[in-house]
A and B are shown apart, each in its own frame.
Chain A
Amino acid sequence: MDEPEQADTKHHAAYWRANLKLLGVLLSIWFLASFGAGILFRPFLDQFSFGGYPLGFWFAQQGSIYVFLVLIAVYVIAMHRIERKFDLDDDD
């Protein structure tokens, strides 16, 4: 393997690591908002009230959906930033 290609591979590997790190963070929040707050911790959270809803019930039927939307928005922005940083974006 000649040198530029090796540098290229390293460059790609660093980009991919940054991507995986972002995925790890976002998917943890994804899990906590839905399976955590909406299912596993629901019995506990239901003792609190949120705008007329029991809190756990709210997460299961409303809150998790709002969190999902925010997660994709954050992903679109953060991923674009990572790609720009590594000069691998697909902007025209």
Chain B
Amino acid sequence: METQTLIYIFVGLSFALYIAIAVWSRAGSTTEFYVAGGGVNPVVNGMATAADWMSAASFISMAGLIAFLGYDGSVYLMGWTGGYVLLALLLAPYLRKFGEFTVPDFIGTRYYSKAARVVAVLCLIIISFTYIAGQMRGVGIVFSRFLDVPIFWGVVIGMGIVFIYAVLGGMKGITYTQVAQYCVLIFAYMVPAFFISFMLTGNPVPPLGLGSEVNDGSGMFVLEKLDLVLTDLGFAAYTDGSKSMIDVFCITLALMVGTAGLPHVIVRFFTVPKASDARRSAGWALLFIALLYVTAGPVGAFARLNFTQTVNETAYADAPEWFTNWEANDLIAWRDKNEDGVMQYRPGDAFEGAPVFALDATGPSGERLLENAPTDNANEVYVDRDIMVLANPEIAQLPGWVIALVAAGGLAAALSTAAGLLLVISSSVSHDLLKRTFRPDITEKGELRAARIAATAAILVAGYLGIYPPGWVAQVVAFAFGIAAATLFPAIVMGIFSKRMNREGAIAGMLGGLVFTLSYIWYFKLWDPSLNVEANWLFGISPEGIGVIGMVLNFTVALTVSAMTKGPPVEIGRLIENIRVPRGAQTPHTH
């Protein structure tokens, strides 16, 4: 059967499955809509958390980033897994014992303040919207490359699917569709990884394959060979990074702490029956996530080796089919600077900026012509990092059904995360802003309706951002972590571990962390990107890692302010005592 037909079948079947699950698990009450009734099995919740967590960025972009960053890519591997240790040890069991619906619920109650709740909602919305825009870009890429539909319709279809199961099913619908999506995405990720590892090294298990010898008779280990091939061409060695140690340290820490502070991840632990289940569930979640993460590093290394050896010094006329496929989608470009018809792949940008293709004009070898000004280095090849995972099956010449599977997996990853984000946005509006702050007399039915309307509105905004991505979207997506690290994480941790922390301290800390981190990112990424070089950075920390300083600032400001103001009332002391012991957790109910 033709690959294109297979893709339609795989994607169509997976969508049908998600909708069927959504119809079967409709939410009837606010408890079901916000926390799936609070009775989700810890293993099931772990799997749903893994799908919720692993976004288009994890599935589509991460291995590609690692392929081109080498050792520096470790920040994502450690950063996006180590956060689960913090989550399990410092947050999840206590928040479950607290037993409410949302993250602002905890902050508003613990700090006995509507203002603290509203500040938490503000942080949550900033974090979640920057994050969701990236998911929509992932949906757009998969649709335009694999389904041959314009990005507009791709995003509209994706939004329609999410609408059905997020708006109808709420947390309950999302939980069970996420379990299905996890199975699709992990299978889709592992199958090509096993094939590629086996082809290159003879060992099908990627983490072992990367430690093996290349089976080309050279007797060299994969990493040795990769270092040699890359340094021969003038690239940095794969196992050696180019970022400074302090920057690697801070980015990793910001990603870890940010992971533990992401509302759509935290809220998943509100859905299990009791505090000890929240701990167990975090362990299961990390296990399901680790399957993909210990595979991503090897996939990146294999892809880099494959790509370099296939493309470099190959005549464009002999370029493999995938090369021209992705060139047709604007994500690969070749500019024949020395006019020899052969592609030279070297360090540096082949030309200035992102490729702008001349309409329908082709060069002497048949390549698409570019309007960009060439640079004066020897590199002739432009490749978008995002395509490595998607192109991998084609680069490794795997059968059509594997390509179809990867398309379905990429969509599962993007849709599951988008749904989780939409839910926390809508519940923070309907529950925290309406029910708990501005319209306390709203009925449960009214609150449920408001939650659905808010989810619909959030889907429309997210869809708009996916179809017409403003330039800043791609730039700021990664910063959701820094903002979460600098705002919500310290407020929650101090709320559990410090009895002295009060309303004034927490609010000042969150606002201080938010304003500092946002301004630093805005200054270097949006106001004047030309200033974004190491010499200008505070302590040599890039905007990606600055959330760590924001977090330190948050803690410092909060502790100072709380030391100078009145301590929290007696009943808050009792609340803290209560959440610290696991016994007696209750299913959240409507008040």
Contacts and interface: CB of A to CB of B under 8 A. Distances in A.
Interface stretch (B282-290, B376-384, B418-426, B527-535): B282-290
A7 interface: no
A88 B527 CA distance: 54
B499 to A, nearest CB: 10
B252 interface: yes
Contacts of A83: 276, 581-583
B89 A64 contact: no
A53 interface: yes
Contacts of B286: 68-69, 72
A35 B211 contact: no
Contacts of B283: 69, 72-73, 75-76
Contact of A35 (B71, B73, B249, B280): B249
B249 A65 contact: no
Contacts of A91: 276
Interface stretch (B80-88, B123-131, B162-170): B80-88
A10 interface: no
B236 to A, nearest CB: 13
Nearest to B249: A39
Interface band, chain B: 35 or more
Instruction: Tell me whether chain A's interface is mostly helix, strand or loop, or mixed.
Output: helix
B256 to A, nearest CB: 8
A23 interface: yes
Contacts of B582: 83, 88-90
B89 A54 contact: no
Contacts of A72: 84-85, 88-89, 279, 282-283, 286
A34 B71 CA distance: 13
A65 B213 CA distance: 23
Contact of A68 (B73, B81, B212, B245): B81
Interface in B286-302: 286-287, 290, 293-294, 297
B74 interface: yes
Q: Which of B74, B84, B274, B585 has the most CB atoms of chain A within a 10 A radius of its CB?
A: B74
Contacts of A60: 71, 74, 77-78
Contacts of A73: 283
24 contacts: A19-B580, A23-B90, A27-B89, A30-B82, A30-B85, A34-B82, A39-B245, A39-B248, A52-B210, A52-B212, A52-B222, A54-B239, A60-B71, A64-B77, A64-B81, A66-B290, A68-B286, A69-B287, A71-B85, A72-B88, A75-B89, A83-B581, A89-B582, A90-B585
Interface of B: 66, 71, 73-74, 77-78, 81-82, 84-85, 88-90, 93, 207-208, 210-213, 221-223, 239, 245, 248-249, 252-253, 256, 274-276, 279-280, 282-283, 286-287, 290, 293-294, 297, 577, 580-585
Sorted nearest first, the 4 A-B pairs with minimum C-beta distance are: A52-B211, A60-B74, A61-B297, A51-B211
Given A27-B89, A39-B249, A60-B77, 13 more contacts: A19-B580, A34-B252, A34-B256, A40-B245, A52-B221, A52-B223, A57-B71, A57-B223, A61-B66, A72-B283, A76-B279, A89-B582, A90-B275
